[in-house]
């Protein structure tokens, strides 16, 4: 990501001010280190025959708690997680939310973002944006193959 940011200086994904850059990197790190880890744990529990129900329940609770943390860092305005510009945080958050939206309903959560209004609002904006809409379309092809 640092390479891409440096290679294309007119379309930087790491904000130019130290505070904004730190916030974007923090949100990306929280998503990467905490939220995605829990999502991956659920991927291993997809098969109902071998599913550890206690682990699934614990992991779903963990994801909800981590969504609360992520939500506290999402900007109140703008179309992107950190405000009006697409940043490194969106590079991490969009795929995590995408896979949550596909995976969690298989565990009985019809709307994974129902209790997280800020994230739901952000997710709905992502689904309409041409850039992320196209990325999600491509990710959906891969996800359908993988989820079989």
DSSP state of 106: G
Instruction: Give the tens place of pLDDT for each residue, 99-118.
Output: 999 999 999 998 999 999 99
Cβ neighbours of residue 43 closer than 8 Å, sequence gap 6 or more: 99, 103
Contact call for residues 88 and 22 (beta carbons, < 8 A): no
What's the CA gap between 46 and 48, in Å, rounded?
6
Q: What is the pLDDT of residue 28?
A: 97
Report the percentage of the chain scoring pLDDT > 90: 81
For the entire predicted model, the pTM comes to: 0.91
Instruction: Give the tens place of pLDDT for each residue, 4-27.
Output: 888 998 889 999 999 999 999 999
Mean pLDDT computed over every residue of the chain: 93
Residues 107, 126, 32, 115, CA torsion sign = negative
DSSP state of 78: S
């Amino acid at each position: 990501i640092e390479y891409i940011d440096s290679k294309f200086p007119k379309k930087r994904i790491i904000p130019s001010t130290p505070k904004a850059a730190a916030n974007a990197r923090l949100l990306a790190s929280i998503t990467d280190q905490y939220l995605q880890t829990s999502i991956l744990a659920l991927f291993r529990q997809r098969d109902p025959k071998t599913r550890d129900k206690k682990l699934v329940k614990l992991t779903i609770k963990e994801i909800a708690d981590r969504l609360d943390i992520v939500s506290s860092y999402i900007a109140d305005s703008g179309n992107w997680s950190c405000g009006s510009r697409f940043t490194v945080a969106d590079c991490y958050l969009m795929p995590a939310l995408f896979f949550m939206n596909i995976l969690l309903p298989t565990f009985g959560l019809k709307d994974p973002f129902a209790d997280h209004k800020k994230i739901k609002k952000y997710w709905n904006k992502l689904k309409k944006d041409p850039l992320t809409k196209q990325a999600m379309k491509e990710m959906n092809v891969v996800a359908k193959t993988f989820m079989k």
